[in-house]
Chain A
Amino acid sequence: MISLKKVKMGLIMLSILTVLTACTNNNNNNNETQDSNGSNATVSISGSTSVGPLAEKLAAKYTEKDNTKIEINQIGSSAGITNAISGVSEIGMSSRDLKEEERANGLNEVVIAYDGIVVVTHPSNKVKDLTMEQIKQIFTGEVTNWKELGGDDLEIVVVSREDGSGSRDAFQEIVDYSSGELIRNSIIASGNGNIKTTVANNKHAVGFISFEYIDESISTIDINGVEATAENVLQEKYSLSRPFLFIYKEGQLTDAGQLFIDFILSEEGQLIAAEAGAIPVK
């Protein structure tokens, strides 16, 4: 019993000590912030779940050097744009181009990176080139056999992401079909990796994934003869791509926000974007 009590006391003392030291540490940090920067600036960012992970990585690197606090909420592109217009967030994130009525609100947009989506098939598939219209016909079930597209006499198995996925939204928006139009018996895979595995193991299958997931296990499809490469996206030749946008209202951007955007567009920021799988702007 005595030894147990001793252990208990020890534990309590230890936890108190930890709390105390944690407090002092915090105080120190705060002091340092005050010394170097003069203020504790906070930049609030909200929007796309596709841009979010990249923004988080950039913010993590940025806050290592600067004491600015960056708050990121991943709530979807449309909600992010609305927040930027209403001033709830300083910066909105969008993984799609702005619509006309959104642009009318005096918004500034900065492309921080691009993302490419590629249609993939089994390596044995002879079809290597499709038009946007053909892709739409495949995913809406109008075309159901590869021979109609110049391939072997094989039934087409469509693989898509789950409803609500940002990649699926973007793909459907660019190819121009709605969730309701997607062929019913399509396989629904959760995540890029899962789509890749499914397509790589099924010679009937077709799916779509982000550029960063491309490897030899799957075959990529050119669109109108344009290969899915980062250069073609930058030259606006490859159409199955989307910009990652930071949006802010004219005059609403603080100095701290401007510095963060400058950091993203700097060589270091773009390198982080490339490492995260996005296509750098430059």
Chain B
Amino acid sequence: MSIPTTNKQAEEIGKANKRKYMLERASQRVFLLCALLSVITLLLIIGFVFYKGAHPFVAEGYSFIDFIFGSDWVPSEDKFGIFPMIVASIYATIGALIIGVPIGLFTAIFLAEIASERLAKIISPAVQLLAGIPSVLYGVFGLAIIVPFLQDTFGLVKGQSLIAVILVLAIMMLPTIVTVAETAIRAVPQTYREGSLALGVSQIGTIFKVIVPAAKSGIMTAIVLGLGRAIGETMAVILVAGNSLIVPTSLTDSVRPLTTNIALEMGYAFGTHQEMLFATGIVLFSFILILNFVLAKISAKGGS
């Protein structure tokens, strides 16, 4: 099969090979560069936020404890306390979980186990489309529908409230929870279902006693990802939260979560005020880091 080659031909083939290798190496570099880009961006963002945010505490003598536990936020009077916002962020996230997780989980179970293929083909894309809606539109929807609804139906003095935030966030975290949980449930081996059904367990019994426990780590991942979405959401929240600077004591109080504080005031802030907004960013960042840590733990457990 070998083709007799002259010197000239061999030279040409060698050249072609060389070119191929060079192209190969060059493209490897390009891929490496792309991969590094996100790492570099991450480091730059962390570095910048921490550099700016730490400055008032390191160089200007502000107390970090007062910053975290102070309940007064009056930048024009040099008072920077974000305790009400930390509480608001935590309440809003937990509230959204309480509403969003059961709905999301049941939707995922329905799509994976119960729904006919035809029905699933309609619902699944709809849920995924929900994820693609820009968050500010959720805010506008909240402001135009949820806020007046709360005012009119429950006679609230103001619809911009913790409960409005919770409702909007619960809707927003649905696609994340549904998509991830559905994948986890579908990944449960078919033999589990067959075994359970063969023993005479009903379908619902099989789902809750066998399938959900088997997909536990995937479902937990879904919840943590939804949590991350809720705590970091800004544009939708800013429109429905009311942004008051109080520690919320009821669902009807208007609140200002951490993200909203940054977005609301960054436009006009300068000097220490601006640095304190970056410091707010550090606190938010810590929350996200903790969440990611939890997520990594869950994934590790699921793997073993």
Interface positions of A (Cβ within 8 A of B): 49, 75-76, 155, 157, 162-166, 169, 178-180, 184-190, 194, 197-198, 201-202, 204-205
Q: Does any Cβ of A come within 8 Å of B126's Cβ?
A: no
Query: Which one, B130-138, B190-198, B241-249, is touching chain A?
Result: B241-249
Q: Are A164 and B157 in contact (CB under 8 A)?
A: no
Q: Are B151 and A163 in contact (CB under 8 A)?
A: no
Distance (Å) between the CB of A93 and the closest chain B CB?
16
Q: Are B158 and A189 in contact (CB under 8 A)?
A: no
Nearest 8 CB-CB pairs, A to B?
A: A164-B268, A188-B243, A187-B242, A179-B76, A185-B244, A180-B74, A157-B158, A155-B157
Q: Are A189 and B243 in contact (CB under 8 A)?
A: yes
In-complex Cβ contact of B244 among A75, A163, A165, A188 (8 A): A188
Can you identify 22 A-B contacts, CB atoms within 8 angstroms? A49-B268, A75-B270, A163-B265, A163-B273, A164-B75, A164-B76, A164-B267, A164-B273, A180-B72, A180-B77, A180-B79, A186-B244, A187-B243, A188-B242, A188-B256, A201-B147, A201-B148, A201-B151, A201-B159, A202-B159, A204-B158, A205-B158
Chain A residues within 8 Å of B275, by CB? none
Known: A185-B246, A202-B159. 12 other contacts (CB 8 A): A157-B158, A164-B76, A164-B268, A164-B273, A179-B74, A180-B74, A185-B244, A185-B254, A187-B244, A188-B245, A190-B238, A201-B159
Q: Give Cα A94 to B238, complex, Å.
A: 30
Q: What DSSP secondary structure best describes chain A's contact surface?
A: loop
Q: Does any Cβ of A come within 8 Å of B94's Cβ?
A: no
Chain B residues within 8 Å of A162, by CB? 243, 264-265, 268
Chain B residues within 8 Å of A75, by CB? 270
Chain B residues within 8 Å of A186, by CB? 244
Q: Does any Cβ of A come within 8 Å of B217's Cβ?
A: no
Q: Give Cα A185 to B42, complex, Å.
A: 37
Q: Give Cα A187 to B157, complex, Å.
A: 11
Q: Are B76 and A163 in contact (CB under 8 A)?
A: yes
Cβ < 8 Å to A, chain B residues 137-172: 143, 147-148, 151, 157-160
Q: Give Cα A187 to B269, complex, Å.
A: 19
Q: Give Cα A197 to B143, complex, Å.
A: 9
Interface footprint category on B: 20 to 34
Q: Give Cα A186 to B244, complex, Å.
A: 6
In-complex Cβ contact of B160 among A169, A179, A187 (8 A): A187
Q: Give Cα A75 to B271, complex, Å.
A: 11
Which chain B residue shows the least CB distance to A169? B76
Q: Does any Cβ of A come within 8 Å of B182's Cβ?
A: no
Q: Are A204 and B157 in contact (CB under 8 A)?
A: yes
Q: Are B160 and A198 in contact (CB under 8 A)?
A: yes
Which chain B residue shows the least CB distance to A189? B243
Q: Give Cα A112 to B298, complex, Å.
A: 64
Q: Does any Cβ of A come within 8 Å of B253's Cβ?
A: yes
Q: Are A165 and B268 in contact (CB under 8 A)?
A: yes
Distance (Å) between the CB of B265 and the closest chain A CB?
5
Which chain A residue shows the least CB distance to B244? A185
Chain B residues within 8 Å of A194, by CB? 239
Chain B residues within 8 Å of A49, by CB? 268
Chain B residues within 8 Å of A178, by CB? 76-77
Distance (Å) between the CB of B174 and the closest chain A CB?
26
Chain B residues within 8 Å of A164, by CB? 75-76, 265, 267-269, 273
Q: Are B157 and A188 in contact (CB under 8 A)?
A: no
Which chain B residue shows the least CB distance to A188? B243
Q: Are B264 and A188 in contact (CB under 8 A)?
A: yes
Q: Are B246 and A184 in contact (CB under 8 A)?
A: yes
Q: Are B253 and A185 in contact (CB under 8 A)?
A: yes
Q: Are B75 and A163 in contact (CB under 8 A)?
A: yes
In-complex Cβ contact of A202 among B77, B151, B238, B243 (8 A): B151
Q: Are A202 and B246 in contact (CB under 8 A)?
A: no
Q: Give Cα A168 to B147, complex, Å.
A: 25
Chain B residues within 8 Å of A165, by CB? 268
